[in-house]
């Protein structure tokens, strides 16, 4: 986004706040200090927004609910706080497709020493694979943080230009025709930011698995092969290798020997299994360590595949810990 677009979004947020103040008949103070916008509620609750476009989005830098004065009715102020926050979320989403809360995070019961970043498919969101965590072996989940990012909303050509969450545009049923290079590269950059954030938080790159289903799996392959630090593994489900003709030139040596799990439904009507098989064969031809699994299913995930995923994750994270 350009600076002008950020200013437009900031104005839209402030207008939304003004509307909420008028509707709720309550004073909400706002302070703008450089890129930091602070909203102060009557009970001194605060929402702090960082407008710095470091990740090409606006996010909540901090949200603090301060102790309320005894004379205030907590429920009323909580309602004002929540309504305003949700209204701001809608404003950001409707103005430029930005979400203030842009991922689902499931922290491990014990100190996180590993991480799985799992990308959803077209039209879904980060909540789609959230339930899978409870189906995985405890030895995997007890020290592993799971992050399920929400893809940006974008117009999808094959769906009549409908706005939905997607990692890139799809133009035709032929997935290799007119591929969305710009969208794919942008999503790669977003995933690189997630990887960098986890590394900054103390998790080594070779303790991070990049996973995805359908479109998310395509981005996991695309971003994982090009990432400049070694990963624990790449998990690609019901998917294919996008922009295959650029892999040789763009792939990074750091992940030349990274283990790859590819699982696909033999009766997949969305991404036919032949696309997955062809991608697997091509990667193996290039020397990548690809483990192929085919299941009697369509474009979905079944229990036997989850069992295989659990075993593979356990092996990858244990190996990378050594």
Query: Catalytic annotation on 238?
Result: no
| Residues forming a β-bridge with 263 | 237, 293
Residue 180, Cβ density class (10 Å: 0-12 exposed, 13-18 middle, ≥19 buried): buried
C-alpha–C-alpha distance, residues 46 and 27, integer Å: 13
What value does the CA radius of gyration of the chain take, rounded to a whole number of Å? 22
What gap in Å lies between CA 276 and CA 212, rounded to an integer?
A: 14
In angstroms, the Cα distances linking 169 to 123, 214, 250, 262 are: 11, 13, 21, 22
Q: How far apart, in whole angstroms, are the C-alpha atoms of residue 232 and residue 301?
A: 22
272 backbone dihedrals φ, ψ, rounded to 5°: -50, 145
Active site residue 196: no
Choosing from 45, 205, 214, 279, which is the catalytic residue? 214
Which is catalytic among the residues 268, 275, 279, 320? 268
Q: Which residues does residue 229 pair with via DSSP β-bridges, in sequence order?
A: none
Pairing type for strands 114-119 and 46-50 reads: unpaired
Q: Helix (H, G, I), strand (E, B), or coil: what is residue 276?
A: helix
**Alpha carbon distance 239, 214 (integer Å):** 5
Nearest C-alpha neighbor of 248 from the set 294, 288, 301: 288
DSSP 190-242: HHHHHHHHHHHTT--GGGEEEEEETHHHHHHHHHHHH-SS--SEEEEES---T
Identify the H or E element spanning 29: strand 29-33
Q: Which residues are annotated as catalytic? A: 214, 268, 299
């Amino acid at each position: 986004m350009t600076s002008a677009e950020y200013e437009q979004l900031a104005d839209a947020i402030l207008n939304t706040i003004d509307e909420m103040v008028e509707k709720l008949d309550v004073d909400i103070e706002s302070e703008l200090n450089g890129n930091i916008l602070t909203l102060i509620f009557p009970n001194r609750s605060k929402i702090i927004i960082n407008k710095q476009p470091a990740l090409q989005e606006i996010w909540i830098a901090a949200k603090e609910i301060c102790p309320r004065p005894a004379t205030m009715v907590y429920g009323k102020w909580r309602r004002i706080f929540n309504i305003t926050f949700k209204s701001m979320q809608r404003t950001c989403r409707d103005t430029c497709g930005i979400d203030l809360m842009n991922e689902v995070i499931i922290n491990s019961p014990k100190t996180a020493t590993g991480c799985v970043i799992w990308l959803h498919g077209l039209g879904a969101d980060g909540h789609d694979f959230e339930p899978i965590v409870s189906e995985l072996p405890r030895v995997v989940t007890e020290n592993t943080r799971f992050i399920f990012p929400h893809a940006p909303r974008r117009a999808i050509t094959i769906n009549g230009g409908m706005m939905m969450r997607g990692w890139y545009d799809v133009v035709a049923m032929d997935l290799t025709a007119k591929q969305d290079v710009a969208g794919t590269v942008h999503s790669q950059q977003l995933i690189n930011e997630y990887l960098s954030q986890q590394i900054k938080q103390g998790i080594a790159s070779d303790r991070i698995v990049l996973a995805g289903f359908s479109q998310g799996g395509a981005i996991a392959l695309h971003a994982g092969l090009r990432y400049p630090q070694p990963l624990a593994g790449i998990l690609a489900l019901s998917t294919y290798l996008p922009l295959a003709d650029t892999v040789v030139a763009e792939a990074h040596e750091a992940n030349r020997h990274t283990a790859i799990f590819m699982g696909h439904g033999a009766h997949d009507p969305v991404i036919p299994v032949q696309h997955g098989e062809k991608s697997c064969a091509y990667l193996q031809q290039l020397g990548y360590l690809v483990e192929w699994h085919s299941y009697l299913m369509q474009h979905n995930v079944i229990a036997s595949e989850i069992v295989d995923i659990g075993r593979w994750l356990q092996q990858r994270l244990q190996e990378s810990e050594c």
